[in-house]
Structure 1
C-alpha cells in the first residue's frame, strides 16, 4: 500500500502532500520534515530507495526522484515493488509535463486542483489505479471538459415577480 505522495522543493517546502493513512496535520508536517531531512543529506550518486522504518514505522520504504528543484517522493510498504514505485513517479512527472508543458514548482502551487485530479487518477486510497500517462491524460481532459461545461451553465429564472431592471 502507498502511504503518502509528496512533492517538495530543495528548501524543504512541501508543494504537494497526500497521505493515504489518517494523520493529524502536525504529524504530517513532522513526517514531511523528516523525509526532507533524509533526502537532503543523501549524496547524488546513491540509490533512490530508502528504508523509512524510523520515520513511518516498520515495513516502510521511500522512493524518490530529484528533478530540477523538486523532490518527488512515494512512501509505501513492502507489498509494493520498489522499481514499480519509481516508475510511478516517472508516470506522474510525465503526466504533469504533458499538462503544464515542462512542469515547474509554480505549476504545482497555482494548479492545486488539477494536480490532485491527476493524483486521483493514478492512486486511490493508497492503491495504484493507472500506470499509463496517456490514460491519465485522457481522464484529466474529460474531467476538465466537464468542469468547463458545468461552469458555463447559468441559471436564469423564467420570471421574477416584483423585480424591475434599472
Structure 2
C-alpha cells in the first residue's frame, strides 16, 4: 500500500503532498521535512529505495489506520525535482520506481515538456494525474494513454501550458524538461 506520494523541488519546498494513510498533521509535517533531508543527502550512486528511518517509522505507525508492515521510501530525482513514495515494505520498490516514471511521463504529455512552474501554477493537474493512477493508496492505472485521457476528460489541464514558448524544462536556467522529450535522469 502507498502511504504517501511527495514531490519536492531541490530546495526542499513541497510541490505535491498526498497522504493515503491517516496521520496527524504534526506527523505529516515532520515526515515532509525529514523525508526530503533523508533523500536529498543520499550519496550519488545510491539505490533509489531505503527503509523509513525508525524514528519516522514509529511516528507514522502511531496512526490507528496505519498498516503494521514496515515502511519503505522509494524516490527518483529528475532535474530539480524529487518524486518520493512512502509505502509499506510489501510493495515492490522497482514497481514504485516505474510508477514514478509513468507519473512524470504523464505530466510531460499533459504539459508538453513539464517544468516546475507548471507544477506550481497547475497543481490541480498534478493531483488529477495522481488520482487517475492511485486511489486510496492502491495503484489502479499505469497505462499512459488512459491516465492522460482521464485527466483531460476532467478538464483540469491548463488550456495553454505555463512553459509554452519558453524552451521549457528544469535544468540550465529552465533548460531541458522532466519528461521523455528532455528528461534529465540523475542516476540515483
On whether the aligned pair clears a TM of 0.5, the verdict is: yes
Q: Deviations over 1:65-108 (max 9, x none)?
A: 00011000011012211100000000000000001112121111
Shift of the 59–111 alpha-carbon distance from structure 1 to 2, 3 Å rule, reads same
Q: How does 1:1-166 map to 2 (within 5 A)?
A: 1-54=1-54, 55-57=56-58, 59-144=70-155
- Unmatched 5+ stretches in structure 1: 149-166
Secondary structure at the aligned position of 2:50 is classed as strand
Larger % of helix: which? Answer: 1
TM-score, normalised via structure 2 length: 0.74
- Unmatched 5+ stretches in structure 2: 59-68, 160-188
* Equivalent in the alignment of 2:184: none
Q: Deviations over 1:97-150 (max 9, x none)?
A: 0011121211111111111111110000000010111110111111118xx9xx
Q: Deviations over 1:1-56 (max 9, x none)?
A: 00000000111110100000112322211101111111121112110011114223
TM-score, normalised via structure 1 length: 0.83
* Equivalent in the alignment of 2:64: none
Runs of 4+ deviating beyond 4 Å? none
Structure 2 distance, partners of 1:60, 1:86, is 15
Indicate conservation of the 8 Å contact 1:52/1:61, yes or no.
yes
* Equivalent in the alignment of 2:171: none
Indicate conservation of the 8 Å contact 1:53/1:59, yes or no.
no
Structure 2 distance, partners of 1:49, 1:115, is 23
Secondary structure at the aligned position of 1:135 is classed as helix
Aligned length: 146
User: Which deviates further from its counterpart, 81-90 or 102-111?
Assistant: 102-111
